[in-house]
Structure 1
Amino acid sequence: MNHSLSHWSPQFEWILHIINVGVHIVNRSGQTVFYNEMMAQIDGLERDQVLGKNIFHLFPSLTDESSTLHLALEKGKGTSESIQTYVNIKGKKIRRLTAPILFMKETKS
C-alpha cells in the first residue's frame, strides 16, 4: 500500500518533511497517509509504525468525541486550536497544541 502523498508535488511533500511543525495527515477513514519526523518525535513513535494505521489504533485513549482529527473529518471543516491530551500505543502520555485542517476532499470514482 502506498502511504505517500504521490498525487501532490514532490516539493510539497519535501516541505512537509522539513518544517519544524508536526504534521499528521489522515484520509477520510482515519488512516495515516503522511507523518513527518517532527510529529514522530512529539508522539514518541516511529514513522514506519504509524503510516497506514488508524488514529484510534495508534492512540487508543482517543474517542470519536475527543479526537480533533476525527472531529474535523466528521464536521467537514477544520477546528480551532486546542490542547489535546492522549496516550500512544506505547503508553506515552502526550499533551500538545493541535489545529486540524481539512484541506481536501476525496472523490469517489
Structure 2
Amino acid sequence: MFTRTAFFEGHILEGMEEAFFVAVESHLLPIWRRLPHAQKVRLFWPVTCDEDTPAVFLIQQIDYPSLAAIEEAMASPVREEARLAHQSIMSMYEGRHYHLVCRRQEADC
C-alpha cells in the first residue's frame, strides 16, 4: 500500500478558520474520495507540535494500492476537479502545500 500525503504549511488567515474547515470537509473531501483507486482519505488538524517545526495546519492522506494507481488518479479528470476546488480555499491561507508518497508498512505495538 502507498499513501500520498499533502502537507499544508503556513497558517489559515485570522477569521477564516471555520470557513476553511467547512470548505475542506464539504467541498474538497468528497472530491478526494472520488479519486480513482483511493482506498481511504484521512484529514489531520494539528493541535500541537515540537519547537522549530514548520507550521503545518492541515495534513491530508490518501491510501492507494500501488504507485500505478496513484499515477492514474493524478492523471484523472477528478484530479483536475480537485485542483480547481483547491483554488477556492487558497485565499483563506498563506503558505504552501506539497506532497510525499510513501510505501506504507504497519508496525504493531
Q: Which has the higher strand share?
A: 2
Larger Rg: 2
- Shared fold, TM over 0.5: no
**More helix as a share of residues:** 2
